[in-house]
Amino acid sequence: MSRSPSLPERPRLDLDPDMSPDERLEALRSHLEDVLEVHEQLDTQLERAKTRRENLTEKVDRLERENDTLKSSSLYIATAEELLDDGVVVKQHGNNQEVLTEVSPGIREELEAGDRVAINDSFAVQSVLEPETDARAQAMQVDGSPDVTYDDIGGLDEQIQEVREAVEQPLINAEQFRTVGIEPPSGVLLHGPPGTGKTMLAKAVANETDATFIKMAGSELVQKFIGEGARLVRDLFELASENEPAVIFIDEIDAIASKRTESKTSGDAEVQRTMMQLLSEMDGFDDRGEIRIIAATNRFDMLDRAILRPGRFDRLIEVPKPNWDGRERILEIHTEGMNLADDVDLAELASETEGFSGAELASLATEAGMFAIRDERTEIRREDFENALEKVEEDDDTAGTPIAFA
Ligand SMILES: Nc1ncnc2c1ncn2[C@@H]1O[C@H](COP(=O)(O)OP(=O)(O)OP(=O)(O)O)[C@@H](O)[C@H]1O
């Protein structure tokens, strides 16, 4: 904190009774100058103090707003079970506690039995939740049979091999693992830059093992309401066991498993609870049968190391950006169905696209196709790829990211 500046010294007027009138006048003039200088200094200090006060007021406003948000985010979810003359019976999710509580006339009007509501610490109904805010339905994506195969993935042969060992084998050869007496890896963590094929790998392994693919984004697990994140995790594992064999894919795991921050807000505590629930579901994994869990992150450095301990995400697979061979293969995959002219040289394109991710290469192929369509051609020429590359580089300059992801 900055210390308050000290006040300037008060100018003194020394008038000697022996002074001549001229000397007195001179002394008074010089005193006046000193007084004016001090006045100026005080003026500057006053201005500074005003600015500081404005800054502090702004800070107080901001903290008050944050405080309000924190207070308002400490709500619990409940179901309105019964509407009575003198209130409403709500049942809190998580602990199933039933309470007769009050409700304001405004909320009462729109409330129907069975609605999900947000209640505060004293159980008063704060708001009625729209059916769409049912996070469970929104958050999970279930795909009975994804259509991605290992052949659709370019440049990740080693990673495919590792995923097959860690996920596919335990699913199709569970008996063998039991006979040999070893535990398959609990969870697999794919880490690497965005758009490099992590989701594809998880989908492909589900496809090849005829497993249901259940995807949930870590950011969706970060819920506003206390207990909701943990409930979603429970639902996720429940859904998987209803659909065995199943592959659970948690994208952006860093959203719930980042290194602990200094702050101790209620939001952080909720994120912690969600992660603890995930870890406890994984700990009880042995008896779960044919469910495998894969997580992915672009922010490996941010992860709380606790989730990497044995029995948790104990198989790490790095999914990097493709090298030259990988880029050529990915370009082949994404231009397979395209009507390419003879002058298109994918090897040369692979050289020109160093640093591109798989998703960026896929967009490049689509973009080249768009140039041909604009020109009313069905054949895609070398110039279309050149134009597409140029466009990508322009986008890169303006947007700061190389290309829009497919
Ligand atoms: N190795 C690859 N081979 C072929 N296509 C790829 C590859 N990597 C990415 N793609 C293309 O990019 C798209 C996005 O890839 P995917 O969603 O698997 O990336 P991701 O690593 O999961 O990205 P994010 O971290 O952003 O979720 C795919 O649908 C595919 O078209």
Per-residue pLDDT tens over the stretch 230-248: 888 888 888 888 888 889 9
Closest protein CA for atom 13 of ligand 1: 359
Ligand 1 pocket at CB < 6 A: 153-156, 194-200, 251, 296, 298, 330, 333, 358-359, 362, 406
Q: Widest CA span of the chain, in angstroms?
A: 117
Q: Are residues 389 and 279 in the same domain?
A: no
Confidence at residue 189, expressed as pLDDT on a 0 to 100 scale: 95
- Percent of the chain with pLDDT strictly greater than 70: 88
122 and 201 part of one domain: no
Provide the residue count of the chain: 406
Residues 121 and 142 both lie in one domain: no
Contact call for residues 167 and 188 (beta carbons, < 8 A): yes
The model's confidence at residue 12, banded by pLDDT at 50, 70 and 90, is confident
197 annotated among ligand-binding-site residues: yes
Contact indicator for 195, 359 with CB cutoff of 8 Å:
yes
Q: Are residues 156 and 302 in the same domain?
A: yes
Q: Note whether residue 2 is domain-resident.
A: no
Query: By three-state DSSP, how is residue 120 classified?
Result: coil
Amino acid identity at 376? E
Lowest mean pLDDT among 15-24, 127-136, 377-386: 127-136
CATH code (residue 267)? 3.40.50.300
Taking the C-alpha atoms of residue 24 and residue 344, their distance in angstroms, rounded to an integer, is: 98
Give the lowest-confidence range in 24-28, 240-244, 332-336.
Answer: 240-244
Residue 307 is predicted with a pLDDT of 85
Number of structural domains (the chain) is 4
* Long-range CB contacts (within 8 A, 24+) of 260-264: 260/304
- Whole-number Å distance between alpha carbons of 165 and 169: 5
Inside any domain, residue 260: yes
pLDDT tens readout for residues 80-121: 888 888 889 988 877 778 889 888 888 888 888 888 888 888
At 401 the pLDDT is 47
Domain that holds residue 236: 136-318
Predicted TM-score of the model (pTM): 0.68
Q: Of 350, 364, 301, nearest to 322 (Cα)?
A: 350
Confidence grade of residue 1 (pLDDT, cut at 50, 70, 90):
very low
Which residue among 200, 323, 330, 401 has the greatest number of ligand 1 atoms within 8 angstroms of its CB, and so is best to mutate? 200
Q: What per-residue confidence (pLDDT) applies to 81?
A: 87
160 and 271 assigned to the same domain: yes
Distance 357 CA to ligand 1 centre (A): 8
Neighbours of 222 (CB within 10 A): 17
Q: Which of 54, 72, 76, 75 is nearest to 64 (CA)?
A: 72
- The helix or strand, by DSSP H or E, that contains position 68, with its residue range, turns out to be helix 21-73
Tens-digit pLDDT profile for residues 37-49: 999 999 999 999 9
What sign results for the dihedral spanned by CA atoms 365, 370, 371, 372? positive
Please indicate, yes or no, whether residues 103 and 123 belong to a single structural domain of this protein. Answer: yes
